[in-house]
Amino acid sequence: MLWVIARRETLTLFQTGLVWLLLAACSVILGWVFLNLLDPFVGVDPDSLEQISIGALNRQLVRELFGAAAVMLLLIAPLLASRLLSGELRDGRYLLLSAAPLSSFEILLGKWLALAVVLLALALLPLLLCLSLALGAPVDLGLCLSATLGLWLLGLLFAAVGLFAASLSAQPAAAAVIAYGILILLSVINRAETAATLSLGLLDWLSWGQHLFWFLIGAVRLSDLGYFLLLAACFLAMAERRLANLRFQ
């Protein structure tokens, strides 16, 4: 049943054309960022270029391009999530769905998986752009893959936060605003002016920027994988609790 829901939600997202439009918009913006980064290297004499090497370019490219994509995920994931869940809560479609022999956990996970598919498509955009560079320069494929993985995991976390926010409100707009609030808090929490070093470690751990960074330099750390999956699971569990409560009301 989980797969049925996941499939249905994925198809809905793709068939409405919304996802394709989003992908088109994102590819234009990312393409622009990408070409701007490459601009200094076009049509110049290789001998006069000594300031940046291919290795350094690969690192810079990955950092800037995937960084821009992360910001887009931050904007898009809550919107899609609120559309998937808040909308249904508002129209009462969710009540119909919950009347089916399905646990709220299965419904939620199905929707999350559907979002995972869509966000994977978005996360693959920078990789596509980097691969197109393989025409003219050796691309560090491992680095790009690790960055793509990091980006996708980030998307999964954002989707979980979006679903949790959507479970709080039947108004998609309100849900999106709540999700943005939580995500922005998670983005800047490590900048909090806390003098105590102990709490700094915790706040540092909670902010996603630190964890994405390691993926962007090609180091896939178990602790970062753990961060994304644990936090995503945590928000999903809170959303599930919320939906389960609705059912018993």
Partner 1 sequence: MTITDRQDKPAASSRAGQLSRRLADAVYVILLWALVLLAGWHLARHEIYWDWSSTGRNVLSTESLEVLSALQSPLTLRVFVAPDHPLVREIEQVLMRYRRASDKVKVDYIDPIRAPELAREFDVRLLGQLVLDYQGRRESLARLDEPTLTNAIARLSQTRAPWIALLEGHGERSPSGGTGRDIGRLGQWLEQRGFRLQPVDLARLSRIPTNTDVLVLSTPSIALFPGEAEALIDYVSAGGNLLWLLDPGDWLGFAPLAEALGIERLPGQIVDAAGSAFDVAAPNVAVVADWPAHALWQGLGAPAFFPGAVAFAPDLASRLAPDWQLVAELASGEQSWNETGPIRGKIARDADLGEQPGPLPFLLALKRAVPSALRAGGGAMAASALAEQRLVLVGDGDFLSNAALERGANRELGLRLLRWLGGEELMEAKADHNDQPLALTTGQAFAISLFALVILPLGFLLLALASVWRRRHG
Q: Which residue, 1 or 200, has its beta carbon nearer to partner 1? A: 200
Closest residue by Cα to residue 121 from 223, 248, 24, 246: 24
Residue type at position 125 = L
Please report where in the chains the tokens 């899609």 appear, as a residue: 80
Q: Which member of 4, 138, 173, 188 binds partner 1 (CB under 8 A)?
A: 138
36 binds partner 1 (CB under 8 A): no
Rounded Cα distance between 225 and 215, Å, is 9
Q: Which residue, 1 or 202, has its beta carbon nearer to partner 1? A: 202
- Cβ atoms 178, 168 nearer than 8 A: yes
Q: Which member of 9, 45, 77, 110 binds partner 1 (CB under 8 A)?
A: 45
Q: Which member of 76, 186, 227, 239 binds partner 1 (CB under 8 A)?
A: 227
Contacts of residue 1, defined as CB under 8 A and 6 or more positions apart, other chains included, come to 101, 102, 106, 110
Q: Which member of 3, 4, 100, 142 binds partner 1 (CB under 8 A)?
A: 142
Number of Cβ atoms within 10 Å of the Cβ of 167: 29
- First-residue to last-residue Cα distance in the chain: 24
Cβ of residue 45: shortest distance to partner 1, in angstroms?
7
- Cβ atoms 215, 228 nearer than 8 A: no
Q: Which member of 73, 80, 115, 143 binds partner 1 (CB under 8 A)?
A: 143
Sign for the CA dihedral angle at 208, 210, 213, 214 comes to negative
Cβ of residue 202: shortest distance to partner 1, in angstroms?
7
Residues 178-207, mask of contacts with partner 1 (x by CB under 8 A) = ------------xx--------x-x--x--
- Cβ atoms 175, 86 nearer than 8 A: yes
Cβ of residue 159: shortest distance to partner 1, in angstroms?
17
Q: Which member of 136, 173, 185, 188 binds partner 1 (CB under 8 A)?
A: 136
Q: Which residue, 58 or 110, has its beta carbon nearer to partner 1? A: 58
By CB under 8 A, the residues from 54 to 113 that bind partner 1 are: 54-58, 89, 95
52 binds partner 1 (CB under 8 A): yes
Q: Which member of 1, 3, 8, 16 binds partner 1 (CB under 8 A)?
A: 16
The rounded radius of gyration (Å) of the Cα atoms in the chain is 20
